[in-house]
Homo-oligomer: A and B are copies of this chain.
Amino acid sequence: MRTKSLSTDELRIWHAFKMSREIVVGIVARDIAEATRLSGADFGVLSLLEELGGGELRQQVLATSMHWDKTRLSHQLTRMQSRGLVLRRLMSGRVVIVQIAKKGREVLAAALPVHAAAIRRNLLEKLTKRDIDSILETFTRLTVSMGR
């Protein structure tokens, strides 16, 4: 049996969904990079370390929280470590603890207001209360249904 093509309406939804995030997230990342030299990935790692772990987390927990695989995180941390943003300690055998470094904490502090302002300007201020409720409900349901 043949699969029916997507209708014009279905394609419009798909494109709206696909592009809007790409554009907004791209702009936020660019704002942060201009102000602090942190990439979106760098910022994500540092803020999760602080938010979730008060400064340190098991590497595997960090990977899961970011929805990243272990290889990607390992390479990312190697680069961040060489720039003095994080430290890694071997804990009880094969478990690695990732810890935010002094410099990492300082750069994160500089990035946070830029992050907040960029999200407000490029997303939150352009949404009505109804939009926000709808996005929260729909997208939370979506991500949960994909098992993440």
- A residues near B, CB below 8 A? 2-6, 10, 12-14, 16-25, 27, 67, 112-117, 119-120, 122-124, 126-127, 130-132, 134-136, 138-143, 145-146, 148
- Shortest CB-to-CB span from A111 to chain B, Å, is 11
* Chain B residues in 8 Å Cβ range of A23: 67, 142-143, 146, 148
Contact B142 A24 (CB under 8 A): yes
Contact A3 B113 (CB under 8 A): yes
- Shortest CB-to-CB span from A72 to chain B, Å, is 13
* Chain B residues in 8 Å Cβ range of A114: 3
Contact B122 A146 (CB under 8 A): yes
A18-B25, A116-B4 known; A13+B136 contact, CB < 8 A: yes
Contact A19 B135 (CB under 8 A): no
* Chain B residues in 8 Å Cβ range of A12: 136, 140
> What are 25 inter-chain pairs, A to B, with CB distance below 8 A?
A2-B113, A3-B113, A3-B116, A4-B116, A5-B113, A6-B115, A10-B120, A10-B124, A12-B136, A12-B140, A13-B124, A16-B136, A16-B140, A17-B139, A19-B67, A19-B139, A20-B21, A23-B142, A23-B143, A23-B146, A27-B146, A126-B141, A126-B142, A134-B138, A135-B138
